[in-house]
Structure formats: C-alpha cells, structure tokens
Amino acid sequence: MPAYLLQVQTPQDTHRLTGPFEATALRRAATPLTVVVDAAARTRIEEGRRRFRALRQDDDSRIYGSTTGFGALAGYAGRRDEADQCDNTLAHLGAGQGPDLPAGIVRAALLLRTWSLAQGLSGVSVRVVEDLAAMFATAFTPAVPRYGSVGASGDLIPLAYATQALRGRGHAWLDGRRMPAAEALSTAGLKPLELDGRDALALVNGTSVTTAALALARDTVRDAHRALTALTALLTDLIGCDTAFLDPGLLTAYNHPGVCHAGTRLRHLLTGCTPSGDRPLQEPYSIRCTPQLLGAAEDALRYVDSVITADIGGVSDNPLFLPDDVGPGRTVHGGNFFGQPAAFAADLLAVVTAQLGNLAERQLDLLVDPTRNGGLPPMLTPTPGIQHGLQGVQLATTAFVAELRRAATPAGMQSLPTNLHNQDVVPFGTQAALRSYDMAELLGLLCGSLALGLRQASHAGARRPTAPRCADLLDTLAAAIEPVDPDRPLDSDVRAAARIVLTWR
C-alpha cells in the first residue's frame, strides 16, 4: 500500500510542499493508501492551532466563522459553544442535489484537503488531520451530490456533505455499497470526526473538489494526448504517408515549444517508416497539421499543469492564521477559496479536449473513406454491403464530438451573484472542472474508436507498419482485439482499445 507523508516546509513567507505527494497521488486515492502525518506536519499544525487559540481568546477579536455567522450573515454573532458552531457551519449547507460524485473525485478532494490543512495555517487540531489520514487506509467514501457548488467560497456544499459523512451523518460508500455514514464508519473501523467551528469551516472552505476533478481530468487528457500522438504515427505509417511534415527545421521555424515537442515524439515513433510513394503531395490537415495541433495542446496542457501544481501547493482557506515576528500571530481574512485559476484552466482543458476529440474523429473518418485511405474498402469492411465494418463506430464518434463541442462552452466566465451579493462574482470552477472530467472520458472513447479503426485497417488490407514502434502498437491491439469479420457489436471493443492506447508507452 503506497504511503504519502504530510510534510510541510515553510521557508520565509513562501509555503511549499515537500515529501512524495504529487498530483499523481490523487489518482491513487480512489483505492486505499497510507497517509502519514509525520512529526514536521504535526508540529506545524499544532503551532497553527495555538495561533488560532491565542487570537480567538482576544475579547476584541472578530474571526469569521468562529465568532460570527457565515456568508452574508457574517455581520451577526455565531453560536457561543464551539461544538455547536460546527453544526452551525454545516447544517445549512446540506442543499446539494443530483447523483453522487465518483469516488475517485471525492477521495482525491479529501486528500487535497488533508494536505492543505497540514500546512498549519488553518488553525485546525492535529486530531482532525490524523483522523482524515486514517480514512485513506480504508475504502470509506462520503456520498457527495454533484450539484450545488459555485466554487466561490470554496466547494462549500460538496465538502459539507463529505464532512458530515465523516462525522457519521448522511451517507457513504463502502465496498461498492451505499449506506448510512455511521454504519460505513463502524464497518470500516473508523471513528466519527469530532469538530469545532474552526475545524468544520476549514474542511469546507476550500477548492479541493474543483482541484481534484481538474487534476484527474488533466491526467486522462494527457493520456489521450499521448495516445493520439501514437495513433497519428500508426495512421501515417499504415497508409504510407511521407513524413516530411515532421521535418525538425520546418517545425523549429514555427517557433512554438509544444510543436517541437510533438514533432520530436512523432519522429521517434516513426523512426524507420518508409513512405509508400502513392500518397498526394500534401496530406489532409488531420495528418499534415498534427504536430501543430498536438503541440498547441501540449503548450495548453503545460499551463493547466502549472495551475494544478499551484493549487496543490497552496492553502485555499479563509481566514488564515499567519505567524508574526512578535505576538501570537495574525488573523487574515481574504479570498483564497476563490477558484478562478482552476476555472480558467478547466475551461482551457475543455477546449483542448474538444479539439483532440475532433482530431480523432477526423482521422477515423479519413481511415474509413476509400477516396482518402489509400484504396482500403469503405468502412474497412472486407465485404461492403454484406458487412458494415466500422460504420456504427463512426456514427458514435460523431455523437461524441458533438457532445464535446456542446460541453466546451466556458463556465469560468458565467458569473451569477448570490448570497445577498456577498458572493457577487463567482468563478464556477467546480462546474468547469467536473465538466472537463466528463469530457475526458469521452475523449478516451474517441481514442479507442480510432485505435479500433487502425486495428481493422490492418485486417482490411493496409500494409504492415514499417516503423518498429508503430508495428509494436498495432501488434498490441491485434493481440487483444479480433478483426471485425463478421460484424458484431463493438462497444466493448472500443473500451478495450481505449484501455490499451491510454496506457501504451
């Protein structure tokens, strides 16, 4: 079972994460793993808790969510009892609707929340972080409804559902079963979280659901980007294209780093490729312009990477309890819970996903068209009319692309005022990230559809690939997927091909 140490380094005023936690750990959070609160993290959490306690005891202190109400009602006093203030924090946020979020997103979000609290600036107790860490060794997953967050004051409603489940309220998933959260905790050998108002607010007042969904979506899109690069190379080799469009001097002159990176990768995959000599002088754009398209996607993905890295390394909470040179520290109220960076990144990721999906569909369209595929039969069927080959798969990819285009509408600029105009601008980062997560799954299916088409092309008369890496990919597909001869339902074959190409290196 992998272990992740919650280690936090605070050089001067810059808060950075150390230890083996990386964005890739979020994908692992879907299944049990070991999370260790080490001595360095424990010390920082305790120091942050002491700062909060000292500042809270000041008779003149006004600390949002600890001495006050919430949101637009922050001008009113909160409940005096700190345990009661926990209920005051969470109860009114139980307004979510819709299906439960995937377990992978929920657990990744809680891993991010644990990591953020372990930086020691949120004033929570060590016990809370340790109990959260203990959850990851089990399969316990809070049941969190999809709809309800505007991503402005953090992911308040979804994180409130997660927190309530950890307290034994609401519902949770365990070993594939949805059940009352108290039962799931008991079965998993966990004790309910005990929280005061500060603990509760710190658990919900962050962008962890948004960041988790964005990071997981990015992972899938990156896998698909690598897959499409390999599938483009295989298509180029199968139909005998000239590879001059990948000339390093040509691409260097274009002066975009992602394009040069894509060209290098394609040239590596096509090492040893021999053109057939039968192709037109200039290939369609879905082949000739792939280094430019895939390269632009690479540059955009690098920006998304940078936002995710910053989100993981930051503290999305309010207020923060910062150390001071003298005195007990200072309470700083602000807007670190405002998920606009992730919203913009998720919208960009959606655009990249839609264009990559369009490329996969256009390449499949080229492959099944006898006027452009080098003389292969229509729909790659050995007996046109008697059988229909990839016709159904191509119809489905058209529907997938239409769905991607519809979903790519930006969410991060569709602000609506709410909360008595306290939240008068909102980023809708949660919607943007969850939408990108759904789109990434469709992109994977488009990659699987193209891969199935390439496998079928080899059966329908395409030449043996001349580049060793391309031949290896084709052989991997052919070993797992039978030719479409005769016709059969191909939904499971598309999914199998997707699994192969998304993990092929």
Looking at residue 77, its pLDDT comes to 82
Closest residue by Cα to residue 411 from 275, 131, 214: 214
Looking at residue 64, its pLDDT comes to 81
CA–CA separation, 13 and 427 (whole Å):
27
Classify strands 171-174 and 141-142 as parallel, antiparallel or unpaired.
antiparallel
Q: How many CB atoms lie within 10 A of CB 427?
A: 25
Q: With the C-alpha atoms ordered 496, 501, 502, 505, is the resulting torsion angle positive or negative?
A: positive
Closest residue by Cα to residue 149 from 207, 231, 216: 207
The overall average pLDDT reported for the chain is 92
**313 in helix, strand or coil?**
helix
Which class would CATH give 214-316+331-503?
Answer: mainly alpha
Among 54-58, 218-222, 421-425, the least confident range: 421-425
CATH superfamily of the domain spanning 3-206: Fumarase/aspartase (N-terminal domain) (1.10.275.10)
Report yes or no: 26 and 113 within 8 Å, Cβ to Cβ: no
| Domain ranges (residues) in the chain | 3-206, 214-316+331-503
Residue 220 Cα to chain centre, angstroms = 7
What pTM did the predictor assign?
0.94
Among 32-36, 173-177, 471-475, 476-480, the least confident range: 32-36
* CA count, 13 A, side-chain hemisphere, 111: 36
Report CA Rg, the chain: 26
Alpha helices in 91-125, H assignment, sequence order: 103-117
CA–CA separation, 368 and 366 (whole Å):
6
CA–CA separation, 495 and 102 (whole Å):
19
Q: How many CB atoms lie within 10 A of CB 252?
A: 12
In the predicted structure, residue 456 carries a pLDDT above the cut 90: yes
Candidate list 64, 76, 147, 303, residue with the active-site label: 64
Q: Is 199 exposed, middle or buried (0-12, 13-18, 19+ CB in 10 A)?
A: buried
Closest residue by Cα to residue 298 from 349, 231, 234: 349
Classify strands 171-174 and 177-180 as parallel, antiparallel or unpaired.
antiparallel
Q: Going along 66-149, which residue ranges are E strands?
A: 97-100, 141-142, 145-147
Pick 142 or 63 by higher pLDDT. 142
CA–CA separation, 377 and 305 (whole Å):
42
Q: Which residue has the tokens 């798969």?
A: 393
CA–CA separation, 293 and 301 (whole Å):
12
Q: How many CB atoms lie within 10 A of CB 329?
A: 21
Question: Which residues face 400 on adjacent strands?
Answer: none
Q: How confident is the model at residue 398 (pLDDT cuts 50, 70, 90)?
A: very high
Which pLDDT tens digit goes with each residue over 2-38?
Answer: 666 665 333 443 334 344 456 678 888 999 988 889 8
Q: Going along 150-288, which residue ranges are E strands?
A: 171-174, 177-180
Q: With the C-alpha atoms ordered 122, 125, 126, 127, is the resulting torsion angle positive or negative?
A: negative
**132 in helix, strand or coil?**
helix
In the predicted structure, residue 386 carries a pLDDT above the cut 80: yes
Which pLDDT tens digit goes with each residue over 305-353?
Answer: 999 999 998 999 999 999 987 778 899 999 898 899 999 999 999 999 9
Torsion of CA 412, 414, 416, 422, to 10 degrees: 30
CA end-to-end span of the chain: 24
Residues listed for the chain: 505
Closest residue by Cα to residue 361 from 477, 244, 266, 224: 224
Residue 368 Cα to chain centre, angstroms = 32
CA–CA separation, 204 and 199 (whole Å):
9
Report yes or no: 483 and 262 within 8 Å, Cβ to Cβ: no
Which pLDDT tens digit goes with each residue over 165-194?
Answer: 999 999 999 999 999 999 999 999 999 999
Report yes or no: 30 and 103 within 8 Å, Cβ to Cβ: yes
Q: Which residue has the tokens 């990386």?
A: 22
CA–CA separation, 467 and 113 (whole Å):
47
CA–CA separation, 110 and 29 (whole Å):
9
CA of 273: how far to CAs of 26, 277, 315, 468, 469, in Å? Answer: 38, 12, 50, 8, 10
Report yes or no: 463 and 470 within 8 Å, Cβ to Cβ: no
Which pLDDT tens digit goes with each residue over 268-290?
Answer: 999 999 999 999 999 999 999 99
**Which residues have C-beta within 8 Å of that of residue 386, sequence separation ≥ 6?**
none
Looking at residue 17, its pLDDT comes to 39
The answer to whether 64 is a known catalytic residue is yes
Maximum Cα–Cα distance across the chain: 86
